[in-house]
């Protein structure tokens, strides 16, 4: 086969990976860390995971509007500002002042720890972010808010099956990150697993409460932006072939003062883990928005 024909065949296979559905991992507006992912089902419904920081709200809304403007299910992993800041902004917008048609959110799914659990291991800035979101929830009809989520809770959006793998773990260190809820999405024969910002403690707890077959996934969102997240043993159970990296360039290269490899982040180590596990594709927002179809 000629090189051009082979490349075209490979692109065709990639475009059919999700059987007509589409996943977009959105880059941060200013090169910071975030987690913002939008999935459009093969029937056209929209699912959002987290959404990113306040600065990311404009691009997120632009993407949602391009898919019809209605979010069928908004999934929150945990209440850190780089995950829920954009949603907080969106919920606080006055639709009467919008120059464009406001987006509509039909359902929001989340499980949070009690505030006193967060206060044990976190600073007041993060508590303010949490309280801002809870205040913004007052602008949402109560029947649209789904909480708490029990492990094993399952619901569908069109032909996408969404399963909650855990309740938030109460860990004394990195409390917000370790309280992340993992969501598994089964999309036309492929599994996508979102880990939020789970650290090593949450990862070990996840291994204890989940059967290996429930954690197995074709695509995984790299925990805590690909560094200082879950350990290699968790990824070994997941055994992904595609990794989603919500990771800016400086973190991908473990930079310090602009010099690669000199930082204190574990990104290069985790990248080595994925190579040893035989991961086929790494989709990273250092290169801009990433699209998987």
Using alpha carbons, select from 196, 207, 268, 199 the residue that is nearest to residue 236. 207
Average pLDDT over residues 47-67: 98
- For all residues of the chain together, what is the average pLDDT? 93
Task: Based on DSSP, count helices (H) and strands (E) in the chain, helices before strands.
Answer: 11, 16
* Residues sharing a CB contact under 8 Å with residue 234, sequence separation 6 or more, in sequence order: 203, 204, 206, 207, 215, 223
Q: Please write the tens of the pLDDT for every residue from 3-51.
A: 545 444 444 455 689 999 999 999 999 999 999 999 999 999 999 999 9
- Name the more confident of 132 and 9: 132
Residue 8 lies in a domain: no
pLDDT above 70 as % of the chain: 93
Does some domain include residue 279?
Answer: yes
Q: Do the domain assignments include residue 238?
A: yes
Could you list the beta-strand ranges (E) of the chain.
22-25, 36-40, 46-50, 70-71, 73-75, 104-105, 108-109, 145-146, 154-157, 160-164, 183-187, 190-194, 219-221, 242-245, 281-284, 290-292
Closest CA to 57 of 72, 79, 36: 36
| Per-residue model confidence (pLDDT) at position 11 | 47
What is the reported pLDDT for 123?
A: 59
- What are the tens digits of pLDDT across the range 199-242? 999 999 999 999 999 999 999 999 999 999 999 999 999 999 99
Pseudo-torsion of CA 209, 78, 270, 59, nearest 10°? 140
Query: Using one digit for the tens of pLDDT, what is the confidence trace for 94-127?
Result: 877 777 888 999 999 999 999 999 988 665 678 9
Q: How many structural domains comprise the chain?
A: 1
| Domain presence at residue 11 | no
Q: What is the pLDDT of residue 223?
A: 98
Residue 15 lies in a domain: no
**Residue 10 within any structural domain of the chain:** no
Nearest to 121 by CA among 166, 161, 61, 78: 78
Percentage of the chain with pLDDT > 90?
87
DSSP 155-202: EEETTEEEEE--PPP--SSSHHHHTPPPEEEEETTEEEEE-TT--HHH
DSSP assignment of 237-274: HH--SEEEE---HHHHTT-BTTBTT-SS--HHHHHHHH
The CA distance from 77 to 222, in Å, is 13
Q: Tell me, what's the pLDDT at 8?
A: 43
Instruction: Give me 96's structure tokens.
Output: 């009467």
70: which strand partners?
104
Q: Give the CA angle between residues 145, 119, 251 to the nearest 5°.
A: 85
For residue 179, give both structure tokens: 């309280």
Q: Tens digits of per-residue pLDDT, 137-154?
A: 999 999 999 999 999 999
Contact (Cβ atoms closer than 8 angstroms) between residue 180 and residue 198: yes
For residue 210, give its domain range.
20-292
pLDDT of residue 176: 95
CA distance 223 to 138: 30
CA distance 39 to 73: 10
Q: What is the C-alpha to C-alpha distance for residues 32 and 129, in angstroms, rounded to an integer?
A: 17
Structure tokens at 131: 């309280």
CATH code where residue 218 lies: 3.60.15.10
Residue of 248, 267, 270, 255 lying closest to 26 (CA atoms)? 248
d(CA 266, CA 289): 23
CB 244 within 8 A of CB 25: yes
Q: Is residue 126 part of a domain?
A: yes
Domain-located, residue 47: yes
pTM equals: 0.93
Strand order from edge to edge, sheet including 22-25: 145-146, 108-109, 73-75, 46-50, 36-40, 22-25, 290-292
């Amino acid at each position: 086969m000629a090189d051009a024909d082979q490349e075209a065949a490979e692109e065709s296979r990639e475009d059919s990976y999700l059987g007509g559905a589409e996943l977009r991992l959105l880059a941060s507006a200013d090169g910071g860390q975030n987690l913002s992912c939008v999935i459009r089902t093969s029937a056209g419904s929209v699912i959002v995971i987290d959404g990113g920081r306040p600065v990311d709200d404009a691009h997120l809304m632009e993407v949602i509007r391009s898919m019809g403007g209605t979010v069928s299910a908004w999934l929150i992993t945990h209440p850190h500002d780089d995950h829920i800041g954009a949603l907080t902004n969106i919920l606080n917008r006055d639709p009467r002042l919008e120059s464009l048609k406001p987006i509509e959110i039909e359902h929001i799914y989340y499980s949070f720890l009690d505030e006193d659990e967060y206060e044990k291991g976190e600073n007041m800035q993060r508590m303010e972010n949490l309280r801002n979101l809870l205040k913004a929830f007052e602008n949402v009809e109560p029947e649209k808010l789904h909480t708490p989520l029990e492990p094993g809770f399952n619901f569908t959006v069109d032909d996408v099956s969404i399963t909650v793998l855990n309740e938030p773990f109460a860990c004394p260190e990195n409390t917000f990150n370790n309280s992340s809820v993992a969501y598994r999405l089964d999309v036309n024969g492929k599994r996508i697993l979102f880990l939020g910002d789970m650290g090593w403690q949450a990862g070990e707890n996840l291994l204890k409460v989940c059967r290996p077959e429930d954690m197995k996934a074709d695509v995984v969102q790299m925990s805590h932006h690909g560094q200082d997240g879950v350990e290699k043993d968790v990824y070994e159970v997941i055994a992904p072939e595609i990794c989603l990296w919500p990771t800016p360039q400086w973190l991908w290269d473990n930079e310090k003062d602009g010099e690669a490899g000199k930082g204190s982040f574990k990104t290069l180590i985790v990248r080595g883990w994925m190579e040893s596990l035989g991961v086929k594709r790494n989709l990273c927002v250092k290169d801009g928005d990433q699209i998987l179809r």
